[in-house]
Structures are given as C-alpha cells and as structure tokens.
Amino acid sequence: MQTGSERSIFLSTMPASGGDRTAAISIVVVSALLFACAVPFAGVPLAPVPAFVASYQSALAINDLITAVLLFSQFGVSRSRALLLLASGYLFTTIAAVVHALTFPGLFAPGGLLGAGPQTTVWLYMVWHGGFPLLVLGYATLKAHDNGTRMQTSPGRAILISIAAVVLAMAAFTAFVTGGHDFLPILLKNGHYTPVMLGVVSTVWCLSLAALAMLWFRRPHSVLDIWLMVVLCAWLFDIAMSAILNVARFDLGFYLGRIYGLCAASFVLAVLLIDNVSLQAQLARLLGKLRHQAASERNLRNERDRIFSAVVESSNDAIITKALDGTITGWNGAAERLFGYTSAEAVGRHIDIIVPPDRRTEIVDILDRVGEGERIQHYETSRVRKDGHSVEVSLSVSPIRSASGDIVGASKTARDITESNRTLRALTGEVEERQRIFETSHDLILVTDTAGNFIQVSPSATTILGYAPAEMIGHSAVEFIHPDDLENTRREMRTARRGQSKRNFETRYIGKDGKAVSLNWSGTWSEPVRRHFFIGRDLTEKQAAEAQLRHVQKMDAIGQLTGGVAHDFNNILTVITGTIGILEEAVADKPELVSIAKLIDEAAERGASLTKHLLAFARKQPLQPREIDVNSLVLEAAKLLHPTLGEHVEIKPLLADDAWTALVDPSQLTTAVLNLALNARDAMPQGGKLALETSNVYLDENYASMHSEVTPGNYVMVAVSDTGAGIPAALLERVFDPFFTTKEVGKGTGLGLSMVFGFVKQSGGHIKIYSEEGHGTSVKMYLPRATGLNQTAAEVLISANVEGGHEAILVVEDDSMVRRYVVTQIESLGYTTLEAANAADALKILDTARVDLLFTDVIMPGTMNGRQLVEEALKRQPSLKTLYTSGYTENAIVHHGRLDSGVLLLAKPYRKFELARMLRLALAS
C-alpha cells in the first residue's frame, strides 16, 4: 500500500488542483485557436527541409526518453501497474521516433535506412501515433483498478521486461512494414496522401480521442492525468494537421503538426522535471527534519532514561532485574525496604536469597516461562526477608530483550500484599458470615434500588411467600405488596431516605398462592450505595397464636359470664320449682289454674335444662368421672340413636378392639355423643351415613405446640362423623360459641356443641372439628386415658423406633401452618421435601422435579381434590408412590366413599413415629 507521503509527492498520485486544471485548459484553448487559424492554410506547400525532420525527431525522442525514465523512476517507488504501462508508452514513442527518422527518405539515405520503401515511413507514423493512445487507454484502465495496490515483483525486473517488450514490439512492427511493404495499402503516392491514408489516419485519430475520453471519465484526476489530457489534445491537433488536413509532405500542416507533438511532449517533460526538483527539495527538508528529530529523540531518550531511573528508585514496589540463570542484576530502593538487603548485598547474588526453600522449584519454572517470552502477571506467592520473616507478595515478571530482540533476562515487580491479604481474608470471612445469615435467615431480607426494584432477595422468600428469589429479583415491590398497604410502604421508604433508620412497620405481601402474608419490617437506607435494606418477620404464626389466645380468652370470658348467669338463674329456678308445688295444691280445685301451674312447672324444667347446658359450657357442672369402657358406651348410644335419627340415616359403629378405658362422666359423654349425632342428622336432611368411631391416640409435644390448651399424653378418641352438608370455613371458629347456630329461628338453642366443648375441656380433654362443605363433618373428642397421661413402656419403644429415609417427598396441604409443621417433621426424618398449597402447584412441581412419594390431603379447595391430584400425578410419573392424610378418620373416609379400600391414609393428628411408619410403608408399597 502507498503511504500518505507517497501520494502527495508524485504527479501520478497527487490530486489535481484548480490551478492545474486552469493551466491545462488555457493551453488547450490557445492550441485550439492556433489550430483553427492554421486549418485554412494547412495545404500550403513549403520548401522541403529534411533537417527539420531530423531535429524534430531527435528532440522528440530525447523528451520522451527522459519522460519515460522519470516515469520508470516513479514506478520504482509506487510500483503502480498503470504507471509502468504509461512509462512503456513514452518509451514506445521514443523508439518509434528514432525508427521513423531512420526510415525517413532523404534524411540519412535517399530511400531511408533499414530497408525502407516509399510507404515505410507513413506506416511507421501510423503505428507510432496509434500505439501510444492504446497504451494510454491501458493506463487509464489499470489506474481505476489499482486502488493503491503495489506490484509484488521486483521493480527493476518489471522495468527490464517492459523495455524488452517495447523494443521487441517496435522491431516487429518495423520488420513487418519493411518486409511486407509490397503487400500493404498505399498511403502516400507521389508525395500526396491517398484516400486509404485518410481512413487509416482517421482510425488513429479516433484512438487518441478514445484515450482522451477514457482519461476524462476516470476520476479523480491526478496532476499527471491533467497533462496527459493536454498531450492527447495536442496529439489530436498533430494528427489532424500533419496527416488529415494537409495535402502532402512539407506543407504547412506537415510542419505545424509536428511542432504540436513536440510541444506536447515538452509540456509533460517540464512538469515531470519540476516534480523531481520539488521532490528533491522535499527530500532535503525531510532529511533536515529527520536529523532534527533524531537529535530530539536522542535527548528525549536520555531524559526518559533519567526519569525512568528516578521512577524505578522512587517506586513503592520492589523492582528487581535478573539474568536468566537467576543472578540479580538490579535492585531498587523499594526492594531494599521490602526484603532488607541493600543493593550492594543483593546484586550479583542468586535470587534464591529471598525464596523459601520449599519454593525454589517455583523460580526455575518462572525463569523458564519468561525465557520463552511469556509475561507473568499478579502471581501471588511468599518470599523471605533478610531477618527470616515471611512476606506475601504479588509478582509481575516480564522478559528483558536485547537490541537484537533476544531475551537476556527478567524484570520483576514485587508488591507486599501481606496486610491486604489479611484484610481481604477478614473481609471475606465477614462477607461469608453475612451471606450465611442472608441464606439461612428465617426472616425475609430484601434489597431494593431507589425505584423499589428488588436487587437481592433471601431464600426465605420461598418459605414465606412461595416465590423463588429469581422470580422476584428485577421486579418492582409494587407487584407483591398488598394494594391497601402500598401508600404506607412508600411513606416509610421516603422517611428512611430522610435519614430515619430502623423503621418498624407492618405490610402485607401477596404470596404466590394469592394469600396475604403479614410481615413486620425493619428498614434502612444506605446513601453510599443508594439502596433500601429491609428485614421482614413473618407474623403468620404470631397472629395465629394471638388469635388462638384471644379465642381461649374469649371462651373463658364467655364461660365465666354464662356460669355466673346460670348460677343466678338456678337460684331463681330453685325458688320457682320450690314454690310451684305449693301453688298446685292451693289451686287443686280450680282446673284452669292447675293447667297454668303445670305450664310454669314445664317452663322451669326447660330453664333448668338450659342452665345445665350453660354450666357444662362454663365447665362448672358437677361431674362424676370414673373409668368407663368407651366402646360399650358408644354401642349403648347407638341403640338410643336408631329410633331417634330414623331409617334414612345409616349408623355404623367403628370401634377399636384395643380401645383404652377413659376417665370421664359417662352420662355427660352419652349426652355429648347424642348431641353430636343430632347435629349430624340435621346436616343430612336427605339421609346419609353416621360413623361412631373409637381409637387410641397419643398427642405429642409437636401437636401440643400448635394447640396451647393440649397437654401431651394418651387419649381415647371418640369421633362422630357424617356425610352431611358440612360447615363453611368462615364459621368453624364460632361453632362452639354458646347460642351460635346455623339453624332457623326456633329450631335450636345453639348450646349443643358448646355443652360438648365445655364437657370435654372440663374433663381434661381436647376437641377438634374437621369439616368440608359438601363432604361432611367429623368431630373428634380426645378423652384422658384412665390409666394416666404418660406413654406405656411399649408405646415408648414404638415411638423410639423411628425410621427415616432420603427420598424426595412432595407435601400438598392447603393449611400453611399445618404444611409447615409437616414439612419440618419430614425433613427431620432425613427426607428431601417439596411443598405445594394446592393441586395446581403440585402438578407444576411434578412437571419439573422427580418425586418418590406424594403426601396429599384428601379434601382441598379448588377444582381438584386429593384423589384427582393422584390420578393426574400418576400420568406424569407412573412410578410415584402416594399417601393420603385427612382430618377425617380412616374408617370415616372409606365409609364416605372418597377413597378405595386399601389406599393408605394417615389420619390427623398423628405422632412422628406414625408418620415415619406410614411414609416407609407407602414408599415400600
């Protein structure tokens, strides 16, 4: 490729200026005017002057030869193929002019030299004036395709080949027109031009015109292009004047045409000579500039070396140079301070003086790598000071090259990183601790930017909200905050940004299952990083515990109130019932008053029954607990219920053969069973099934932690289950309130369940109601075992024999509190757990994860229950094992027709060993 300087100093590449164009046009215009003035006189005969031809041809040959030499010299630098062709064209005209002069008749011989005939000179003139335009056409064509590329061959070789080609071509043309003289058309006869001559010369003239047009359209124009166009214009005038418009040799046109050609050749030569003089001037200036630049660079190098030495000595990093064999050749002040050796002590010794013995092989490896030209950056290692203390350093090692490029040594920079590494390790430990806190925190930790978009989210988000951190990061907090709490949250964030940190406020977030989760937040704002930092504590369990406590307190308060009312009401009734007999005797002879007295007596009895129920709820009724066989009592109750409930209700006792005896008041238990059965009948107006069930249950510490009123121990469970309409979830918490009823006015007092509740609590037991709308209700009474509250030795052995596993278990439970409890228990057994709040979420998990066991509730909200979930799950994973759980008892579930016989079900509540046993049983099935 040509450099910018080359393109600016050669006429072949220098862009033509406006002045160049103006000068060229001026010359062409003057030539055209002169040509126009001479045209009428072109045929005027003049005296033959052969010396003119000799002088003209000699001058023209010298001009063209010098021009060719100058063009060849420019080609030697630029190596442009187009320029080589143009130089060859001028060499061609040089040789053609010489040959033409030698063959011209009367110049050197009467008939011309080289065996010339009458037509030889004319034909050589045509070859001469036709060959040059062809070579100019070639120049214009190659100029457009060169695009600055350079010939790869040697310039001298290319020039020699071009000279040889031109000489051979001219020799061939000369031989052809002399040897084939008799066969060529006659162009000149008796000193005058023939019509054939006009045709041939017109063709030659058109070639010059074509070359001129080609140059004109090959833009952009160089200075050389402009003057070549001037030459071609003069060439056209020359041919027209000396071969077309004139009549014969030595007329006015003959002389003027040749003068045109000579002037054109002189123009280009003059321009090229001026170009060379300018080039020499530029070279002289360039040489002076280079000398000045060399002196400046020498001074600059000396100054740079001085500054470099100062920098090396003032550097805080130790800079050491050494030969490839490890001999120290340079040792700056920082190296003295770092390693304790002075420069005099270190230079000339081996680098091993600062290398621990166990790292000597490291030095060999480093020097080998540097010897191969490798650069080693930030290599951390340890070195030894003169006093024996170890120091941690970061090394950067580079090869040192000689002037010839050979690697002769190594330059090493050593930076003390002992303290920075100590700080980094402390910082890394602190970051690791904070990351562990972040990852293991049970609280929700959030980091947001100024716009409220999540930057970091702790993994606890999955447990609290159901979202994986990746599902929240990059999203705005607005998408998760409850709409009613949004403005309050924004106000707290603005307050934090004003500098008030550790703000405590409550905000509800919407979990993935669509439920609101209340969180207590502590937040702060960091101005340096412009981030909000929040820690949110899940209030779900706290609120549930508070709600349970409030419920207990409410029931206690209602119990105190109803007990007091019942006590006072009993006093009133005592007076009424005590005096009604006297009144009846006094009005015995008055039948109408006797009926009124009986009406009062019946009302008093009803009032007494009412107070009895109120005292039962208030746990103030007089109980006579004794050890009873619950199976016998339930069977007796079933006999009483048959005529009461009617034929449309099927009663089925499902009693455990090994049921324990319970310590309760038998009459009160009978009443409780009857009350529950009557409620079940009312819930099945079209008929249904009633299950009376007994079993032995141990309520452990985990269950007791979820129900504060429960004492861990052995209980006899008596369950009454129906297939009725069920109780709406919103009313479940109120069913034990006195006087609460869903029946029509006059169809019930609302004291039945409250009496059962009071009786069970007063007996030291526990009651649990489980109901699903459209599926039925199951009420479980846990009565204290007569033999005591502690486990027997056999039960302790069973409970201790807990077997876990490592399989993956998917827990599906809509109650978040129960789900969390179950997941904790299963994880404590060693299993991997996944959890879902409904069937839809469970199926999403099954689509992406491999699960060994599906542990699902039977009745769930939504369009799909547990049984339907299992059917869909088995389509996805046919080898999946299943285990059901339900608040209903197993017998009641099967009895209601919700599960096939033999399907595994774990009834709530259950102990840990029961859970472990059923999980292993299900996995092995």
What is the 8-class DSSP label of residue 887?
A: S
What is the 8-class DSSP label of residue 774?
A: T
pLDDT at 193: 67
Residues 6+ apart with CB under 8 A from 160: none
pLDDT at 844: 92
Question: Buried (b) or exposed (e) across 156-187, using 16+ Cβ within 10 A?
Answer: eebbeebbeebeebbeebbeebbeeeeeeeeb
Q: Are the C-beta atoms of 193 and 250 separated by less than 8 Å?
A: no
* Strand-pair partners of 533: 447, 524
pLDDT at 529: 75
Q: How many residues are recorded in the chain?
A: 925
What is the 8-class DSSP label of residue 41?
A: G
Q: What's the token pair of residue 229?
A: 């166009």
pLDDT at 647: 78
* Cα 452 to Cα 633: distance, rounded to the nearest angstrom: 65
Q: Tell whether the model's pLDDT for residue 582 goes beyond 50.
A: yes
Q: Are the C-beta atoms of 395 and 414 separated by less than 8 Å?
A: yes
* Cα 338 to Cα 382: distance, rounded to the nearest angstrom: 12
pLDDT tens, 368-387?
A: 888 888 888 888 888 898 88
CA distances from 394 to 377, 514, 721 (A): 8, 55, 78
pLDDT tens, 659-684?
A: 898 888 887 788 788 788 888 888 88
Q: Mean per-residue pLDDT for 757-764? A: 78
What is the 8-class DSSP label of residue 45?
A: B
pLDDT tens, 322-369?
A: 888 889 888 888 888 888 898 888 888 998 888 898 888 888 888 888
Q: Mean per-residue pLDDT for 585-600? A: 71
Q: Tell whether the model's pLDDT for residue 463 goes beyond 70.
A: yes
Assign residue 190 a region (left: φ > 0; alpha: ψ between -120 and 50; beta: otherwise): left
Q: Tell whether the model's pLDDT for residue 834 goes beyond 90.
A: yes
Q: Tell whether the model's pLDDT for residue 219 goes beyond 70.
A: yes
Q: What's the token pair of residue 108?
A: 């050197």
Q: Tell whether the model's pLDDT for residue 767 goes beyond 60.
A: yes
- As a whole number, the mean pLDDT across the chain is 77
R_g over Cα of the chain: 59
Binned at pLDDT 50, 70 and 90, residue 882 comes out as very high
What is the 8-class DSSP label of residue 587?
A: T
Pick 603 or 577 by higher pLDDT.
Answer: 603
Beta strand spans in 209-343 (E): 318-323, 328-331
pLDDT-wise least confident of 130-144, 229-243, 616-630, 697-711: 616-630
* Cα 562 to Cα 314: distance, rounded to the nearest angstrom: 95
Closest by CA to 680, choosing from 634, 635, 644, 733, is 644
pLDDT-wise least confident of 201-210, 292-301, 612-621, 771-780: 612-621
Q: Tell whether the model's pLDDT for residue 534 goes beyond 50.
A: yes
Question: Buried (b) or exposed (e) across 714-726, using 16+ Cβ within 10 A?
Answer: bbbbbbbbbbbbb
What is the amino acid identity at position 268? V
Q: What's the token pair of residue 812?
A: 């599906």
* Cα 913 to Cα 909: distance, rounded to the nearest angstrom: 12
Q: Are the C-beta atoms of 662 and 630 separated by less than 8 Å?
A: yes
Percent of the chain predicted with pLDDT > 90: 5
φ, ψ for residue 912, nearest 5 deg: -60, -40
Q: What's the token pair of residue 566?
A: 């019942």
pLDDT at 618: 45
Strand order in the sheet with 713-722: 649-654, 688-699, 713-722, 776-784, 766-772
Q: Are the C-beta atoms of 672 and 767 separated by less than 8 Å?
A: no
Concatenated DSSP letters of 686-750: T-EEEEEEEEEEEE-HHHHHHSTTPPSEEEEEEEEEE-S----GGGGGGTTSTT--SSPTTS--S
Residue 896 CB coordination number (10 Å)? 19
CA distances from 331 to 338, 378, 671 (A): 11, 19, 104
Q: Tell whether the model's pLDDT for residue 174 goes beyond 70.
A: yes
What is the amino acid identity at position 775? H
* Structural element, H or E, at residue 672: helix 666-682
pLDDT tens, 795-819?
A: 554 555 678 889 999 999 887 777 8
Q: Tell whether the model's pLDDT for residue 565 goes beyond 70.
A: no
Pick 790 or 153 by higher pLDDT.
Answer: 153
* Cα 523 to Cα 505: distance, rounded to the nearest angstrom: 9
Q: Mean per-residue pLDDT for 842-860? A: 89
Q: Are the C-beta atoms of 762 and 784 separated by less than 8 Å?
A: no
pLDDT at 887: 66
Q: What's the token pair of residue 752?
A: 């039945």
Q: Taking the CA atoms of 488, 491, 497 and 499 in sequence, report the sign of the dihedral they define.
A: negative
Strand 188-189 relative to strand 192-193, pairing: antiparallel
Closest by CA to 891, choosing from 719, 696, 645, 648, is 719
Q: Tell whether the model's pLDDT for residue 413 goes beyond 60.
A: yes
Q: Is 509 helix (H, G, I), strand (E, B) or coil?
A: strand
pLDDT at 812: 92
pLDDT-wise least confident of 41-45, 78-82, 176-180, 506-510: 41-45
What is the amino acid identity at position 824? T
pLDDT tens, 90-108?
A: 888 888 888 877 877 777 7
- Angle 666-682/752-762 helices, nearest 10 degrees? 150
Q: How far from chain centre, in Å, is Cα 162? A: 64
